[in-house]
Structure 1
Amino acid sequence: MPGAEPFSSDGGDVGVLVCHGFTGSPQSMRPLAQSLAAEGFSVRLPRLPGHGTTWQEMNRTQWADWLACAESAFAELVDSCDRVFVAGLSMGGALALRIAERQAPHVAGLALVNPCVTLGDPRLVALPVLKHVLASLPGIASDIAQPERTELAYDRTPLKALHSFVQAFPEVVRDLPQVTQPLLLMRSAVDHVVPAKSSQLVLSRVSSKDVTEIVLERSFHVATLDYDADVIERETLAFIRRVTG
């Protein structure tokens, strides 16, 4: 899809991995990635497997593929940078947390926007059966308050892929106490995709002592493209600068 290309920039010795969300594309995180690159950071914003093409292709990918892609980009930054941060939107936030759980010594800090580690929809219990009957359901894209902004994402939700994502929730949540890194969590006051209890779960279970929570009052789920995009960029930059001293 035009506009769904990954973004990469080699800058200084501080790196930032940026991860987009489920059924989305790098487009949703490109403004943040570019703002970080403009400040001299080394940045990687990969296009996760199955994203930015067709929802049918995404239905042939799973959580392990998305995590492997994110960890590969993270490894690039670890090899070339002294300190590496991870930022993520929605599922990208879950990927960031999983990387912090699995590779704690190499993660300098986390900047999360509406991280998704639970959905809480009782209908999801039907997914193991439903995914064999229906290939997809209507999409969740473009939950944005600003009327002229649009997320480049699928208009259908591929159910096999969704089931794989949901199956990853327990391991991410189980290991949240292993997250000790400085944490910046930015959540929308109104989010029609991810429930508020997802951010609450993250905040209540991580072991991080340095935690900053910011409520985005003007934006919906895809806040990185919404009215508070400038807040996210400014706060993420300030957070990284503070942690790196």
Structure 2
Amino acid sequence: MILHGAEPFFLAGSKKGILLVHGFTGSPSEMLLLGKYLNYIGYTVMAVRLCGHGTNPEDMARMKWRDWYASVCDGYHLLKNYCKDIYIIGLSMGGALSLLLSIDFPVKKAASLSTPIFIAAQRGLDMLPPRHLSNDIYIPKIRHLPNNIPAVCNVGYKKMPLICVHELLDCIQYLKKNLKRVKVPVLVVQSSNDHTVDNKSGRYIYNKIESQDKQFLQLSKSGHLVILDTERKIVFERIKQFLAK
């Protein structure tokens, strides 16, 4: 059963479609404010729900990262039935999956928001048990919501399966090996105040992709959820300019 508020959403607009991809242990809810904004300025918007997300952590524990990627591919094909041009925007792990989609399918532009290449030291990755010892282990996950953001924008798991952290790391490694294959226009957004993703991740992505048209937005006040935090209006406006260019 899908958690209330974690459902995928579709907002009809023009024949220019934007696919939104949420992050690790999250749900489409974290993309809701951005989705409504993009729809308001004319785009058709679809936010996918990644396999094993928005239901229960035990569902997630059964998934591989390629299952999550398959969810993004499914969303692309659904949106392509309605729209002529497809743009993709992903948050955190969703940013990694979005960049990978831009390699495999015709995407006009991609935006990578708080996408992990390097995990922040305070996340304690050095204490992660080996994969064969990580099955059936769940640890608490605190979800901080910025002030004045409705709870409906923060539907996700309060614990995470450690086995899926290994899947996340596998996804990151695959992206690192394939960044040079990213050639579409890309907007990279990174905050120096992100306590989940190391700040150097954004610049690494920007430097390694081979896009002729690439832009970088460095934030300083936002946490990991840049589209919900204090600088979200700056992010929204920059995305608007990037898509319209």
Above 0.5 in TM-score?
yes
Structure 1, unpaired ranges of 5+: none
1:183 aligned to 2:186? yes
Deviates more, 1:8-17 or 1:75-84: 75-84
Q: Which of residues 152, 171, 176 in structure 2 aligns to 1:168?
A: 171
Q: 1:27 to 1:203 in 2, by over 3 A?
A: same
**Retained in 2: the 8 A contact 1:188–1:216?**
yes
**Retained in 1: the 8 A contact 2:95–2:115?**
yes
Partner SS state of residue 61, structure 1: coil
Provide the C-alpha distance between the structure 2 equivalents of 1:124 and 1:196, rounded to a whole number of angstroms. Answer: 21
Q: What is the root-mean-square deviation in Å for CA atoms of aligned residues?
A: 1.8
Provide the C-alpha distance between the structure 1 equivalents of 2:180 and 2:128, rounded to a whole number of angstroms. Answer: 26
1:9-24 matches, within 5 Å, as 9-24=11-26
| Counterpart amino acid of residue 184 in structure 2 | Q
| Counterpart amino acid of residue 205 in structure 2 | V
Structure 2, unpaired ranges of 5+: none
TM-score of the pair, normalised by structure 1: 0.89
| Counterpart amino acid of residue 190 in structure 2 | R
Matched with 2:113 is 113
Matched with 1:93 is 95
Deviates more, 1:119-128 or 1:168-177: 119-128
Partner SS state of residue 94, structure 2: helix
**Retained in 1: the 8 A contact 2:120–2:195?**
no
| Counterpart amino acid of residue 52 in structure 1 | G
Q: CA deviation at 1:148?
A: 4.7
Partner SS state of residue 181, structure 1: coil
1:41 aligned to 2:34? no
| Counterpart amino acid of residue 152 in structure 1 | V
Q: Deviations over 1:169-225 (max 9, x none)?
A: 222111111111111111112011111122122112100121111122221001111
Q: 1:95 to 1:195 in 2, by over 3 A?
A: same
Q: CA deviation at 1:12?
A: 1.2
Provide the C-alpha distance between the structure 1 equivalents of 2:183 and 2:93, rounded to a whole number of angstroms. Answer: 20
Stretches (4+) displaced over 4 A: none
Q: CA deviation at 1:40?
A: 1.8
Matched with 1:138 is 140
**Retained in 2: the 8 A contact 1:7–1:46?**
yes
Q: Percent identity?
A: 30
Q: Deviations over 1:131-173 (max 9, x none)?
A: 13x511221532x5x3454632212121122211211222211
1:240 aligned to 2:240? no
Q: CA deviation at 1:68?
A: 0.6
Provide the C-alpha distance between the structure 2 equivalents of 1:66 and 1:59, rounded to a whole number of angstroms. Answer: 12
TM-score of the pair, normalised by structure 2: 0.89
**Retained in 2: the 8 A contact 1:118–1:166?**
no
Provide the C-alpha distance between the structure 2 equivalents of 1:140 and 1:157, rounded to a whole number of angstroms. Answer: 10
Deviates more, 1:156-165 or 1:75-84: 75-84
**Retained in 1: the 8 A contact 2:120–2:196?**
no
**Retained in 2: the 8 A contact 1:18–1:33?**
yes
Query: Matched residue pairs, number?
Result: 237
| Counterpart amino acid of residue 157 in structure 2 | Y
